[in-house]
Amino acid sequence: MSPATDHSPRIAQLRQQRPRSLFLTFSGVVVLGLVLWAWLTSGPLLGRLSHEQRWRNFWSFAEDLQPRPVRREEGWEGVPAWAADLMSSGGWEALGNTFAISLMAIIIAAVAVLPMLLLSSRRLAARDSLGIFGGRGSRVYDWSLGAIGAAVRSAYVLARAIPEYLLAFLLLSLLGPQVWPLILALAIHNFGILGRLWGEVVENADLTAARQARLAGAGRISVFFTILLPELCNRLLVFFFYRWETCVKDATVLGMLGLLTLGKLITLAKGFFWDEMLFYVLLAASLIWIADILTGILRSRLRQAQAGL
């Protein structure tokens, strides 16, 4: 085909033949009309403050976000000493607690989910697992496998449906003010999320190698741990580290319940010391940023290792 070929008629024909949905068109018009109606009939969206007052509030807030040495005209040279003082007066301990809570929570959740995948997967937890005929048996056995799988998947749904903040509050009432309620709350919530995410990875995986091992006489447990897990490791780690980064954020928020994490320091600083609050928020963000870099390096090494096999 010549580079000068004119594709305009073909493109016009494709546009004419593209599928159209009257329902989607009608829905879009209705939604647009409702948005315009809400915009025109609702009250002022910006409240009763004048433009000048909002502008003054903004500049006052922006000024309070500057580090204390800068506001006192000591210059940015005093900021490192100010930051070091914040870290020594509780920042390091809160940072360590936040990191430890998030890491322990995601590890507990992952360890709990891993063996459950054998029970929750419709492709593995069946008599004819991996599409291979498993012989004739009683209906009670088949029904039991289906019921156990449905129960595990329901546990996933229930675990991720209850907010971790509510779980932490209930566990604090039962166990008292200690670190384990926060760890268990995050572990339970991420148990449900990892169960769903890892389950989808297993359900959509290429099971050719696992099926061949089953045909050779290997059991489903050995096939799962010796073939499927190494093959799916990288994709499982993607979701593991993604949830770990989320755990760091959630551990920061749960610290507002009173335990010394970055969330508690943010709560104490909020409304009085905006510069300190911003410092602790950036500290939590830097922890997530470092975790993202480390996970990227680890996944890259794993891909290189798998490519070299």
59's tokens: 């500049």
How far is the C-alpha of 168 from the C-alpha of 163, rounded, in Å? 9
Q: Residue 128 has what DSSP assignment?
A: T
- pLDDT (tens place) for every residue of the chain, 309 residues total: 445 555 566 777 766 777 777 887 888 889 998 888 877 666 555 566 666 777 777 787 777 778 887 777 777 888 888 888 888 888 888 888 888 888 999 999 999 999 888 888 777 766 556 555 555 555 665 677 778 888 889 999 999 998 888 888 888 888 887 888 889 999 999 999 999 999 888 888 777 777 777 777 666 777 778 778 888 888 888 889 888 888 888 888 777 676 777 877 877 777 678 888 888 888 888 888 887 788 778 777 877 776 665
Q: What is the rounded distance in angstroms from the CA atom of residue 135 to the CA atom of residue 211?
A: 16
Comparing C-alpha atoms, which of 188, 199, 212, 189 is closest to residue 125?
Answer: 199
Name the CATH superfamily for 83-115+163-308. MetI-like (1.10.3720.10)
Write the burial class of residue 267 (CB in 10 Å: 0-12 exposed, 13-18 middle, 19+ buried): middle
- Is the model's pTM score more than 0.95? no
Q: What is the pLDDT of residue 109?
A: 94
All structural domains of the chain with their residue ranges: 83-115+163-308
Contacts of 131 (CB under 8 A, 6+ apart): 123, 207, 211
Among 103, 113, 100, CA closest to 245: 103
- Taken in order 275, 94, 264, 285, is the CA torsion positive or negative? positive
Q: Given this model, what pLDDT does residue 2 score?
A: 47
